Amino acid sequence: MKQIEGGITAPKGYRASGVWCGIKKKSLDMTVLFSDVPAQAAGAFTRNIVRAAPVEWDSRIITSGKPVRAVVVNSGNANACTGAQGMKDTSAMAEMLAAEAGITADEVLVCSTGVIGVPMPMQKTAQGIKDAFRALGTSPDDASRAAQAILTTDTFVKEYAVEIDIKGTSVRIAGIAKGSGMIHPNMATMLSFILTDAGLEEGLLQKLLGASIEDSYHMISVDGDTSTNDTVLALANGCSGAPVITEGSPELRTFKEAFDAVNSYLARQIVLDGEGATKCIEVSVTGACSKEDARAAAKSVITSNLVKTALFGEDANWGRILCAMGYSGASFDPSKAKLQIESSAGSLLLLEQGSPVAFDEDEAKRVLKERDICIKVTLQDGSSEAAAWGCDLSYEYVRINGEYRS
């Protein structure tokens, strides 16, 4: 597997665009992703029971198993908590793009992100969809513009593309994502789009996506809020010409490794861009009884506001870490636990065999002063491990979200 250039349009048979239509005051706000041939589609969605209209639309299409040709995404308006009109507007967006492309509305997936509870400005939206479709493939910056147009409070574009070899033929997988705040396990205020030119056995893409999100998007946290719009969509159009990848084949292992790598990279980029973040945190749990226990413990630490604020304050308050593990539901023996905090400035041993280890506060401050922090938890209960990623909780986070609508 190697990283390649080209962004979301690196795989064969896809075109993309990003335009401004006025939903946002000045930034690009409308993206279209288009497959030149019908593509197998897979999706994963928010577990919030308050779901935005586009989530309902996409869930139905993915469940139907029908091939898909296009994805239209607007930023600046979530089309969430907008009642019956919200569903009408979502279907209208699909119909508008379908009319431009000469396809049917049920071949179009729709995503929205932005402010909740505000009706869609459909006149601007309609013009944006026309402009975005007509812009497909017209600029060398198409992939970059598509990645930019899905952003809201993000401060940088999140994109990644890789290439693998399947029986002598190059296969590519590429993704773009957005997310910065309202980020919590069970996905977040995040959208992610993965395109591949691989050919996959029917139903296999959904299985791969369902497994992949467990160790990527479900293991990140910024602020503890799970959104109404969280969506991950994946398309596979077979345009590489490589043999179809089937269940249990050696080629599937190769493809899965690359597919997971794209999702993990994008998930970590989201927390690197956490609203107001001054620290990027990884929680690593090893030696757990089961994968589920390892995930539960890692998630609980990364989502703890007390842990987040301690790290913002550069305070080695390790009791908060052990406490968060204790209420996680994970089964482990605290009397055998080991706990370390590491950064490029050094490593700090805080707990050994369940007992506190004396440490120098000045050294702790030096380790925690770095931006990238790793909390390493070593258990002696089994051989399973998991990692979670997040950021600290800062004064700036409060300012950004206090002024979000203004």
Please tell me whether residues 255 and 395 are part of one structural domain: no
> Is 158:271 a contact under the CB 8 Å cutoff?
no
Out of 226, 251, 272, pick the residue that ends a domain: 272
CATH of the domain at 217: 3.60.70.12
Please tell me whether residues 344 and 308 are part of one structural domain: yes
Q: How many domains does the chain have?
A: 2
Please tell me whether residues 238 and 292 are part of one structural domain: no
Out of 272, 297, 316, pick the residue that ends a domain: 272
Out of 219, 237, 272, pick the residue that ends a domain: 272
Please tell me whether residues 83 and 49 are part of one structural domain: yes
Please tell me whether residues 311 and 197 are part of one structural domain: no
Please tell me whether residues 77 and 201 are part of one structural domain: yes
Please tell me whether residues 149 and 296 are part of one structural domain: no
Q: Tens-of-pLDDT digits for all 406 residues of the chain? A: 999 999 999 999 999 999 999 999 999 999 999 999 999 999 999 888 899 999 999 999 999 999 999 999 999 999 999 999 999 999 999 999 999 999 999 999 999 999 899 999 999 999 999 999 999 999 999 999 999 999 988 889 999 999 999 999 999 999 999 986 555 545 446 899 999 999 999 999 999 999 999 999 989 886 666 678 999 999 999 999 999 999 999 999 999 999 999 999 999 898 888 777 899 999 999 999 999 999 999 999 999 999 999 999 999 999 999 999 999 999 999 999 999 999 999 999 999 999 999 999 999 999 999 999 999 999 999 999 999 999 898 888 778 777 755 5
> Two tokens at 401?
């979200």
CATH of the domain at 306: 3.10.20.340
Please tell me whether residues 268 and 332 are part of one structural domain: no
CA 187/CA 47 separation, integer angstroms: 8
Please tell me whether residues 61 and 151 are part of one structural domain: yes
> What does pTM read for this prediction?
0.89
**Which residues are designated catalytic?**
189
Nearest CA-CA partner of 322 in 342, 348, 347, 350: 350
Please tell me whether residues 227 and 368 are part of one structural domain: no
Please tell me whether residues 303 and 339 are part of one structural domain: yes
CA 188/CA 46 separation, integer angstroms: 7
Please tell me whether residues 233 and 358 are part of one structural domain: no
Q: Which amino acid is at 308?
A: K
Domain that holds residue 80: 2-272
CA 117/CA 114 separation, integer angstroms: 10
